[in-house]
Chain A
Amino acid sequence: MLMAGTSLEILSINVWHVLMAIGNLLILVLILKKFLFKPVQNILKQREEEVGKIYSDADEALSKANEDKALYEQKLMDAKSEADSLIKLASEQAKRESGDIVSAARKEAERRLKNADDDIELAKKKAAEDMMDSISDMVIDLAEKVVEKEIDKDSHSALIDDAINRLGDSL
């Protein structure tokens, strides 16, 4: 009855054909799993991973940028304070140096003033001595001229010296 070229009845049940239908369906399940679902799901997973990576990279970059910003702000603050301290230091040094210079100048001036005073004193002394000499001579001459031999140099020298000394003291 089942010969090549003939047809099956329209409602016939053949166990082999049922099993073949089941097998065909299961084979197609495997084919679809292997050739359609697995590659596409792999791709979808890869895409998800990539998107996740992009997000995490962005987060990382953002946090790094924030870190950098904080670092730069810190550095800026440091630089500012350093500059402040430098300026302070410099101004202090300048103040100190200027004080030094001023005091040195003052000292020099004082020294010079003192020298000048000494010179003046010396000159005064010298002048006074010269004057004393010349005055004593002049007084003697004057007195000789005034008294004309009335005054003996030797006898009156004590008196004259006394007068000169008084003169010198008043100078």
Chain B
Amino acid sequence: MEIEVTGAKILFELPFGITITETQVNMWIVMAVIAGLCIWLTHDLKVKPTSKRQIVAEFLVKTAQNFVEGNMGKRFAFFTPYIAALFSLALGCCFVSLLGMYPPTSDLNTTLGWAAITFVLITFYKFKTNGLGGYLKGLTEPIFIMAPMNVIGEFSTPISMAFRMFGNVVSGSIISALVYAALASANSALFGWLPGFLGEWANNYPILQLGLPAVLSLYFDIFSSVLQSFIFCMLTMLYIKSAAEVE
């Protein structure tokens, strides 16, 4: 049994070495679905809500606002659309794997890009609150010898965020693939010796693959992805908030 663990398939080639892979296409699908959902939820709003759709839309908006304001304070209320977009995109990109598609979050480029935005925001707010001098001075604390470590620490924040999300999703998919392969070989070992068409049938339709992968998918695709999306948003908010606090 061959187990191949690869990244996203390359679908199109564009000039300048740009390639479009499954990651991008699946992400666009998720974005289209989210955009369609938003348009459907808000397509005819009334001051007096008459439809459940509108109640759901208002609930989502209020929940997002309360979440962001509760964690970052009223000052950062304008971050709500960003956090909501980050959460919905991460969640959608993880849930894609439930449909058997390639989850864009198991591509390191995706999570690295999102973490880069967080890094830029953190650094921007550190500059804004402390100024360039204060920022550079903060790197040499407690003594100047620690400066390289502090620089590494600055960069380790987004990298750890990116690898956390990526690692969780990839470990889930690798374990799922391993379990699938193991169940297939167990199936052929158990039923493959049967004579005639029974053995062939058992090899072609591995019935052992029915139960266990669903449970694993419940954990890796739903629980773990919700948790990781939530944590990605939470860490983004907390880092930005602590970067904007005057020391």
Report chain A residues within 8 Å CB of B47.
43, 46-47, 50
The bracket for how many chain B residues form the interface is: 35 or more
Q: Quick check: B81 and A32 within 8 Å, CB to CB? A: yes
Q: Which of B17, B31, B60 contacts A2 (CB 8 A)?
A: B17
> Which residues from chain A contact B10 at a C-beta distance below 8 Å?
2-8
Chain A residues closer than 8 Å to B7, beta-carbon distance = 7-12
- With A36-B41, A40-B45, A47-B47 as known contacts, state yes or no: A2 contacts B19, CB within 8 Å: yes
Whether A17 is near chain B, meaning CB under 8 Å from some CB there, is: yes
- B229 CB within 8 Å of chain A: no
Q: How many residues of A contact B (CB 8 A)?
A: 41
Which of B84-92, B133-141, B199-207 binds A? B84-92
Using known A-B contacts A10-B6, A17-B24, determine if residue A36 contacts B108 with beta carbons closer than 8 Å: no
Q: Are A40 and B19 in contact (CB-based, < 8 A)?
A: no
Contacts of B23 in A (CB 8 A): 17, 21
Contacts of B46 in A (CB 8 A): 43
Choose one: B61, B110, B114; the contact of A40 (CB below 8 Å): B61
Q: A8-B6, A28-B88, A50-B47 are in contact. Are A3 and B13 (CB under 8 A)?
A: yes
Q: Is the interface of B mostly helix, strand, loop or mixed?
A: helix
Cβ distance A99 to chain B, nearest Cβ, rounded Å: 75
A14's partner among B9, B13, B41, B109 (CB-CB below 8 A) is B109
Asked whether B27 is an interface residue with its Cβ less than 8 Å from the other chain, the reply is: yes
B-side contacts of A5, CB under 8 Å: 9-10
Tell yes or no: B210 within 8 A of A by CB. Answer: no
A31 touches B38 (CB 8 A): yes
Contact A2 B13 (CB under 8 A): yes
Is A44 an interface residue, CB under 8 A from the partner?
yes
B12 within 8 A of A: yes
Which residues in chain A, 16-45, are within 8 Å of chain B measured between CB atoms? 16-22, 24-29, 31-33, 35-37, 39-44
Residues of A within 8 A of B117 (CB): 22, 25-26
A35 to B40, CA, bound (A): 9
Does B148 sit at the interface, judged by CB under 8 A? no
Give the distance in Å from the alpha carbon of A14 to the alpha carbon of B7 in the complex.
12
State A47–B117 Cα separation when bound (angstroms).
35
A158 at the interface (CB under 8 A from B): no
Q: Flag if A39 contacts B42 (CB, 8 Å).
A: yes
Tell me the complex Cα distance, A50–B80, Å: 25
Q: In the assembled complex, how far is the CB of residue B235 from the closest CB belonging to chain A, in whole angstroms? A: 15
Tell me the residues in window 34-64 of chain A with beta carbons closer than 8 Å to chain B beta carbons.
35-37, 39-44, 46-47, 50
Given A4-B10, A28-B89, A40-B58; A35-B35 close (CB under 8 Å): yes
Within 8 A of B (CB), among A81-135: none
Give chain B nearest CB distance to A55 CB in angstroms: 15
Q: What chain B residues lie within 8 Å of A29 (beta carbons)?
A: 81-82, 85
CB contacts (< 8 Å) of B38 on chain A: these are: 31-32, 35-36
Interface residues of B (CB under 8 A from A): 5-13, 17-19, 21, 23-24, 27-28, 31, 34-35, 38-39, 41-42, 45-47, 54, 57-58, 60-61, 80-82, 84-86, 88-89, 104, 107-114, 116-117, 170
* Chain A to chain B contacts (Cβ below 8 Å), 19 pairs: A2-B10, A4-B11, A4-B12, A4-B13, A7-B8, A7-B9, A8-B6, A8-B10, A10-B5, A10-B6, A14-B109, A17-B110, A25-B86, A25-B89, A31-B35, A36-B42, A36-B84, A43-B47, A47-B47
